[in-house]
Structure 1
Amino acid sequence: MTTAPPASRHRWELQRGFDELGRPLRDVTFCVVDLETTGGSPGDGDQITEIGAVKVRGGEVLGEFQTLVNPHTAIPAFIAVLTGITNGMVADAPPIEAALPAFLEFAAGSVLVAHNARFDVGFLKNDARRLDLIWPDFEILDTVKLARHVVTRDESPNHKLSSLARVFRSGTTPNHRALEDARATVDVLHGLMERLGGLGVQTLEELQGYSAKVASVARRKRHLADHLPHAPGVYLFRDESARVLYIGTSRDLRRRVRSYFTASEKRSRIGEMVQIAASVSAIECATPLEASVRELRLIAEHKPPYNRRSRHPEKVTWLKLTREAWPRLSLVKRVLDDDADYLGPFSSKAAAESSLAALHEVFPIRQCRDRLARKPQRSACVLAEMGRCLSPCDGSVDPQTYAAVVRQLRDTLLRRPDDVVDLVHARMSALADEERFEEAAHHRDRLADFVRAAARTQRLTALTGCPEVVAARREDDGRWAVHVVRHGRLAAAGVIPAGTDAVSYVEGLRASAETVLPTIGPTPAATAEESEQILRWLESPGVRLVEVVGEWACPVQGAGRHARRSAGATKESPLEQ
């Protein structure tokens, strides 16, 4: 090992001292950028449609940049409704080949700032790479991540730009146009810096590395994690009377629980919980998936006050297509063994009502709640007079015609939602062309609720219908994790020990797995949340199906493809929704 000569070491230490002082925020030039795009992922071929940026230093605006961008592809109706940017508006706009170099020149030498920077920077880097442009070594600052340290849930229910703009009284209201949103983000950035300035944050380095101080009362409780294993599982915080306060899951129980006492806590309610907690217990699990499932079941059992995840999974709503002489759609709380068709479950009644409205827009079946005789003799309702109901009550439609509409509706619910999607998209496009964006947004939201519910129903029904699915995946440590799923419920989980015969181990796991009986209709034998956790694991890379009893398949033309499109219509992070 060598050491530097005294003189050069002195110069190095002097330089290090200046570097550690950091760059004062008042001297840093920030370039706040926002994009509008045709969708949520450049990997799926989505393109930039607008770039807006504001350059600021010391609280003063140095310049602004704005340009529409011709994406050379049609802008989906979802996006046109969201942003107000139509195909006609971008027809004569410069392509990204001209717009991106101009932006990079504008932003040169700045710290790049964005709200949910992964989205905006991801698109910019992708296009720079595609166009063989040199991407400058920008320092990146994400106002979403910073706000999570600074703005509590008591101040704002989330950290969306629109919510933060209200908190910091921005002079610009975000409206999904790039320059306006960039201006609002500038106000949010300045609001965050002003608040942190009062806590001693004065340099860019301090801003980038800021985290709230850990309360001394929390530090004193770090010994509560000492008995926990370094293993995956579920942990339960309890108060002095052993009441469960909070339940969580981790791949490393001791490390995760210890972090509650040694690292900053951004969630005010969790900080409060830690101060009340008197003990922590844990349930070690064979795999992370087993831990996630146990967490859901324990939350449902104990209903801990500090968990935001649903403590009442039993409180769901279903959309039912009845089986009667003149079928109709209705909202119900449970699935019955009545041969009816069901859509759901919905976690909120509002989402169920939104889906119901979307279906009624397309299918003019009756909306009255009474049971009708096969030959009803009643007067027509207002909906019939408006042409929105076939009106079987006054004999305006024969049973065969009505039944044909119901068959089409049933096919939409269970297999192919294209009729609803196409019609609503057409209405949205027409309204967007007329710049009636608020009305179009209502249609967009209804459609999104419906396609999400239809996709969920189709995926859950496929898994629920299988008496048994056995699957395995090689984990990061090289061992094989194995799960046995019966009728959508996790029945067993294990990890094949080194040197053990894999076939024998899997057969033993199946033999010892929980017995699970089938349920009615599409209802999983577990909660919908549990079955969806299992589905995410089954569909993850590297999973191998060992055994499938029954038929596990979703319709090729099902709702999943439409649900993915609606999910990509906004750049808001899923964590912020």
Structure 2
Amino acid sequence: MSTTVFRMIRSNKKLLEGLPDAPGVYLFYGGQSELLYVGKSIGIRTRVRSHFSSPEERWLCRQVRRIEVQETAGELGALLLESRLIKELRPMFNVAARHRRRIILARRAEDSRGYATIELEAVDYLDINDASPILAIFKHKTQAKEYLANIAKTHRLCPKLLRIENATRHCFSYHLGQCDGACMGEDDPIRYNARLDAAFEARRIKAWPYDGGLVVEEQSERGPKREIFLIDNWCLLASFTSTEEGFERHLRGNHRFDYDSYKILYSYLLDERNHARVRVVARDDFEAMMQAGPREAIEPIPAPRLLSTGSSS
């Protein structure tokens, strides 16, 4: 993918007018070539202009001396490229993403009495094939504990069994009448476990709903540019961008589960307007495309409908 560089001149207006109003990613650099910020938009020029006209972002824009732009064919390519660049380049002012290097897994276990318990584990990445006992993924431990505290109240779950309260006998919520006594063996384990599973349903990783891999094509509205993404089991395995000679490999993926990419892909596939761009491919053909790349245009084949069972955030 080509990168276009725009250097700051006296007039910001001239710089901004030169930016393409197309989908893609933009990178702000400072005077020492330090990367300040990475963003994405379906209209780069309009989005960058909003940065420079915002009083809240004036402190950032004063430091910008160079802008790089990487155009994509559509929104999906921009979302995936931004996510990858932030992780790889760690810009100074993408604060939340820059500091998010590990994810927190909430794993389900059971104690000797048959009550479900929760174990939090920090990992660098997740093997999606090992996701069955995982109830939820969180960005950090604080978010996980806040969620556990909330479902303890809304689903009358035991904070002691959720591992957010240390207690030798009963939890404090039992004393207040807010826990039905799982910590004391008074709550029925089957009913308790059903409430716990229901509490996590909205955050559970959705099962891959396709019998094969997915090929997703985006076509630029501004010209002949096309991008093709190969996706399987929520993992971006490869992508290709069109050239005059055919296609060249662009974003390289792997079989590691990336939570940010999962949320991007789930939201994209949930939107039925995108289904005309999606093709389900048998895994043998999918593996061949992985090796050789796409050879021809993708015929629109509607993908199976994804049913929303709650937030994927």
* TM value normalised by structure 2: 0.63
Q: Distance in 2 between matches of 1:527 and 1:383?
A: 33
Look up the match of 2:29.
Answer: 238
Out of 543, 546, 553, the residue aligned to residue 279 of structure 2 is 546
Partner SS, residue 469 of structure 1: strand
Change (3 A) 1:319 1:515: closer
Look up the match of 2:268.
Answer: 537
Unmatched runs of 5 consecutive residues or more in structure 2: 1-7, 284-302
Look up the match of 1:471.
Answer: 216
Instruction: Kindly indicate which of the two structures has a greater share of residues assigned to strand.
Output: 2
Partner SS, residue 265 of structure 2: helix
Partner SS, residue 93 of structure 2: coil
* Alignment map for 1:43-192 (pairs within 5 Å): none
| Pairing 1:358–2:151 present | yes
CA deviations 1:311-356 (Å, max 9, x no partner) are 3333554444324424323544347969633223256725752454
The residue type equivalent to 2:254 in the other structure is: V
Q: Distance in 1 between matches of 2:62 and 2:159?
A: 56
Query: Could you tell me whether the CA contact under 8 Å between 2:26 and 2:67 is conserved in 1?
Result: yes
Deviation at 1:243, TM superposition (A): 0.6
Q: Distance in 2 between matches of 1:311 and 1:549?
A: 37
Out of 77, 86, 89, the residue aligned to residue 290 of structure 1 is 77
Deviation at 1:463, TM superposition (A): 4.6
Q: Distance in 2 between matches of 1:473 and 1:246?
A: 26
Deviation at 1:289, TM superposition (A): 1.9
Look up the match of 1:412.
Answer: 198
Q: Distance in 2 between matches of 1:312 and 1:249?
A: 19
CA deviations 1:138-188 (Å, max 9, x no partner) are xxxxxxxxxxxxxxxxxxxxxxxxxxxxxxxxxxxxxxxxxxxxxxxxxxx
Q: Distance in 1 between matches of 2:141 and 2:212?
A: 29
CA deviations 1:81-133 (Å, max 9, x no partner) are xxxxxxxxxxxxxxxxxxxxxxxxxxxxxxxxxxxxxxxxxxxxxxxxxxxxx
Q: Distance in 1 between matches of 2:151 and 2:208?
A: 26
The residue type equivalent to 1:299 in the other structure is: I
* Alignment map for 1:177-576 (pairs within 5 Å): 219-221=10-12, 232-251=23-42, 255-256=45-46, 259=49, 265-269=53-57, 271-307=58-94, 310-314=97-101, 316-325=103-112, 326-334=115-123, 340-346=133-139, 349-350=142-143, 352-365=145-158, 367=160, 379-380=169-170, 382-386=172-176, 388-391=179-182, 396-397=185-186, 401-402=188-189, 404-409=190-195, 411-413=197-199, 454-455=201-202, 457-458=203-204, 460-463=205-208, 468-472=213-217, 476=221, 482-494=228-240, 514=252, 516-517=254-255, 525-528=257-260, 530-540=261-271, 541-544=273-276, 545-547=278-280, 559-560=309-310
CA deviations 1:213-236 (Å, max 9, x no partner) are xxxx97535565698667543221
Look up the match of 1:441.
Answer: none
The residue type equivalent to 2:142 in the other structure is: K
CA deviations 1:460-512 (Å, max 9, x no partner) are 433599873223356545866543223324344456789x9xxxx8xx78x99
Q: CA RMSD, aligned part only? A: 4.6
Give aligned-pair identity as a percent: 17
CA deviations 1:285-328 (Å, max 9, x no partner) are 34332222211222233332334663333355444432442432
Look up the match of 1:447.
Answer: none
Deviation at 1:244, TM superposition (A): 0.4
Instruction: Kindly indicate which of the two structures has a greater share of residues assigned to helix.
Output: 1
Q: Distance in 1 between matches of 2:173 and 2:87?
A: 42
Aligned residues: 272
Change (3 A) 1:382 1:274: closer
Partner SS, residue 91 of structure 2: coil
Which entry has the higher C-alpha Rg, 1 or 2?
1
Q: Distance in 2 between matches of 1:359 and 1:256?
A: 44
Partner SS, residue 97 of structure 2: coil
CA deviations 1:352-396 (Å, max 9, x no partner) are 5245432454344461578xxxxxxx7555544555243455xx4
Query: Could you tell me whether the CA contact under 8 Å between 2:107 and 2:118 is conserved in 1?
Result: yes
Q: Distance in 2 between matches of 1:515 and 1:247?
A: 20
Q: Distance in 2 between matches of 1:310 and 1:513?
A: 19
Q: Distance in 2 between matches of 1:482 and 1:312?
A: 30
Q: Distance in 2 between matches of 1:278 and 1:345?
A: 36
Look up the match of 1:36.
Answer: none
Q: Distance in 2 between matches of 1:289 and 1:338?
A: 25
Query: Could you tell me whether the CA contact under 8 Å between 1:287 and 1:494 is conserved in 2?
Result: no
